[in-house]
Amino acid sequence: MPGPTIRNMTRYVDEDLHDAEFRECDLTGARLIGVVMQDAVIDGLVTNLVVNGVEVSGYVEAELDRRYPVRVLIRSEDPADLREAARQLHAGWAATVERMRRTPGIERRSVNDEWSAVQTMRHLVFVHDSWFRRCCLGSTELFTPMGIGPSVEPYREAHGLDLSLEPSLDEIVRGRAAQVAELEAWLGEVTAAQLAAPAPVPEDDVWPPYARGRSVRRCLGTVLNETFEHHRFCVRDLDLIDEQDGA
């Protein structure tokens, strides 16, 4: 019988990590003892977070649901709720595109090393191709070239992706509109039984490699969550740009 996995724990004692940034890091099981943490920002997949003896992630999730009621619809198993979630998400993105059109050029600006708005939208092109077309429909077609996927190899620029492209906002909007129409038409007919079925992910090494064994519903949830979260990030950054320009 194999023994337990032993991890080498890195300890930081009396270190000055003022203004440190941890990006795409796995901090699972991290312990911060006797620390000073003021004006800190944590953004990511956070569960079972205990602060001064209080588990706070439940409070955070409840507040996010209050601010963004569409999150509750995204988690539903009812096809009608999922249709409404998609409608609200796409309406939110449409309003944000119109906001960008009122300030030409803002769509290509970024803050804090995050994606610009057009890069974010290109990522959603990729999310639709990979998590919806491949995982929910079983498609083996090449990805839309303008999509932006994961940064890791061999997936970074594979299966039709072309990172040398610089599509215009109008080109990206047209591509996303076609994808939105495809998703909404499918949601208009899908049943609860079809959602509960195993995802028909093709047997190849194309992204996402870990989707096999998941249900169609779970793969759809990834599409909706990505659409929501990246819109939230996009609006956050557009607000920051507006604040900087106003200042």
**What are the structural domain ranges in the chain?**
76-246
pLDDT band at 4 (very low <50, low <70, confident <90, very high): very low
- Mean pLDDT along residues 157-161: 94
What is the CATH superfamily name and number for domain 76-246?
dinb family like domain (1.20.120.450)
Lookup: tokens for 151? 């940064």
> Can you give the pLDDT at residue 7?
60
CA-CA distances (angstroms) from residue 247 to 110, 122, 135, 174, 199? 17, 30, 45, 34, 49
Torsion from C-alpha of 238, 241, 245, 247, nearest 10 degrees: 110
State mean pLDDT over 185-190. 98
Give the chain's mean pLDDT: 92
Q: Which of residues 1 and 128 earns the better pLDDT score? A: 128
The mean pLDDT value for 174-186 works out to 98
